[in-house]
């Protein structure tokens, strides 16, 4: 049986900063900002009023406790246009980052950028886990 957990994206007064961060962050910035940092594939996306419900198949944990196989992320629908970010489609490979305040960001993740994230993980930290 697959495990589900819900991550709530809260964007308030810092949404403009979050937008800039999402577009311009380097791997070390993600590792500093995020409490949880995952690579995942989008398995579904549905609009529910002002929220997009994004279902994810977790593939790799860069930071944080080992993640469940699946996750559900709730993202304000306005995030994509406000931040000029690509709204993910089913099958997209994405980076999911959640900071200690519960703010979440979801951006496309290329194989090259994933390699850069792996290289940026501190040598003293456990190696990223893949599923």
**CATH tag, 6-116:** 2.40.50.100
pLDDT tens-digit series, residues 34-54: 999 999 999 999 998 899 999
Q: Per residue of the chain (131 residues), what is the pLDDT tens digit?
A: 333 333 333 333 345 556 766 777 899 999 998 999 999 999 999 998 899 999 999 999 999 988 789 999 888 888 888 888 889 999 999 999 988 988 788 899 999 999 999 999 856 555 566 66
pLDDT at 2: 34
**Radius of gyration for the chain, computed over Cα atoms and rounded to the nearest angstrom:** 14
Contacts of 22 (CB under 8 A, 6+ apart): 83, 85, 105, 107
93 SS3 class: strand
């Amino acid at each position: 049986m697959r495990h589900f957990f819900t991550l709530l994206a809260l964007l308030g007064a810092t949404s403009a900063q979050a937008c800039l961060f999402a577009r311009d962050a380097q791997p070390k910035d993600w590792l500093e900002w995020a409490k949880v940092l995952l690579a995942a594939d989008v398995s579904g996306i549905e609009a529910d009023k002002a929220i997009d419900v994004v279902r994810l198949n977790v593939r790799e944990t860069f930071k944080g406790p080992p993640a469940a196989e699946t996750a559900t992320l709730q993202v304000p629908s306005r995030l994509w246009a406000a931040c000029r970010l690509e709204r993910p489609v089913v099958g997209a490979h994405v980076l999911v980052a959640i900071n200690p305040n519960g703010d979440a960001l979801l951006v496309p993740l290329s194989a090259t950028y994933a390699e850069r994230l792996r290289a940026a993980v501190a040598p003293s930290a456990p190696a990223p886990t893949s599923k």
